[in-house]
Amino acid sequence: MAQAVSLNVALDIDNRDGEKTTKNLKLELLDAKGNVVASKEQIVNVSDASAKVNLTTETLKGLTSWNAENPYLYTVIISQMANGKEEMVFSTKYGFRNIQLVNSGDNHYVTINGKRIFFKGTNIHDTHPLYGRYVDVATMLKDITLMKQANVNTVRTSHYPRQPKMNTMFDAYGLYVMDEADLECHGNNSLTRNPSWRDAFVDRNVRMVQRDRNHSSVIFWSLGNENGEGNNMNEAYDAVKKLDDRLIHCHGNESSSDLHSEMYTSVDAAKREQNGRNGKPFFICEYAHAMGQAVGNLEDYWKVIENSSGIIGACIWDWVDQAIYDPIKIKEGKLINKDGFHAWTTGYDYDNYVINNPGQYNDHSFQGNYLSNGIVTADRAWTAKLTEVKKVYQYVAFSGLTADNKQVSIKNKYPFNNLADLCYLNYMVRKDGRVIEEGKVTRGKYPAGRVASHQCAVQAGEERRR
């Protein structure tokens, strides 16, 4: 349950014609079943071209909190009434959750609703093999479905905010979001130190926060990507903090970040940062570059992360291959080639050296196959890489089972869920690759964050022991 809170809705009234009138503004908060939890009404006398009004409820207790495992959303309804009739109405979803930064001794991590969270993440781009940079709703939903199936709980919106409708999906289906501003001067970091660019840096961040701050899934603001050091990042940090108190991420400019952030940190280097760095939690904003047959050492990273006191998580680079269909093939309606494969193209297909020298590779070409670095294919098909991610990011760990004791230790790594409410446990015994016994374990209690032992009624091996 959420702590006792009050809900405040700040309204900007547009009275551009300067009409002198009286309006009744009404706020209602409904739970997921449609029951009214709280309401507030206020009479407002309007005469100026614009006015600001705050509607604040009484203290609310017993609220159900939002988290990625159980994304409980309330409905907020704002109505404008006059003479007893409804003139305007606005409705949105909202989840209550509490984000805290723990910095004490060697402990540097982030909690949500009082529970430490490991952010098991991926970066994601707006890309579609047929529509290019436009992503339709069905594909957004496919992305989120695959992420949830693969135990991904965090998305970094590299390197720009996502469409508002996808933020709404993040809220509804339950994913933690690092919302990143559309700001990168990679290769020209001098802009970050150039005062004439200050307003542009600030504006892009402020507009992101103003648009997205009511989304419960947004846990972090990211000020941009690979902008280097400079006062413009500090100015952006200050501007964001004036609007919202969520944690701020900024790779490359430590003074404007609540986290210490790195890219492509090795496993050994991560071990050296296991208590955090510079008194801050450590976050690997990009790692496990997934081009080709990749993410093979993901397990090594997470052994370090989950046993650390100062690493909060990491985001794979990246989610989906950015291959596109050959435009000529699209026009001809030939999206599948003669060999039965998608007629996708990538950097090699637009490299004049490769085109003019068939069978040869251009060592000086940066793009090549570089953008096909996702853990799912361009059409969002499951891959072996995603299977590896699902295994490493899983929330259940088994240990201790031997032929003699028949007892297995089950660790529930969910911060909030009781495993008994989600699933049951089957067992299977194989001999020389053939199944010789299988069964279902009696349902036990597996509270969040706890280890429980369970006896398995395995019969295999009894004859040998007798």
Could you give the residue numbers annotated as active site?
Answer: 226, 286
Distance between CA 236 and CA 207 in Å, rounded?
A: 11
Question: Residue 57 carries which DSSP code?
Answer: P
- Tokens representing 259 are 């986290």
Cα–Cα distance between 419 and 413 in angstroms, integer? Answer: 9
- The four Cα atoms 130, 163, 218, 371 give a dihedral, to 10 degrees, of 30
Nearest CA-CA partner of 349 in 375, 331, 323, 377: 323
The helix (H) or strand (E) run that includes residue 312 is strand 311-316
DSSP string, 178-232: EEE-S---TT-GGGGG-GGGHHHHHHHHHHHHHHHTT-TTEEEEE--SS--S-HH
Kindly report the CA angle at 426 between 422 and 428, in degrees rounded to 5?
A: 155
* CB-CB neighbours of 435 under 10 Å: 9
Distance CA 315, CA 217 (A): 16
Tokens for 348, please give them: 């090699």
Residue 431 parent element (H or E): strand 425-431
Structure tokens at 12: 């900007």
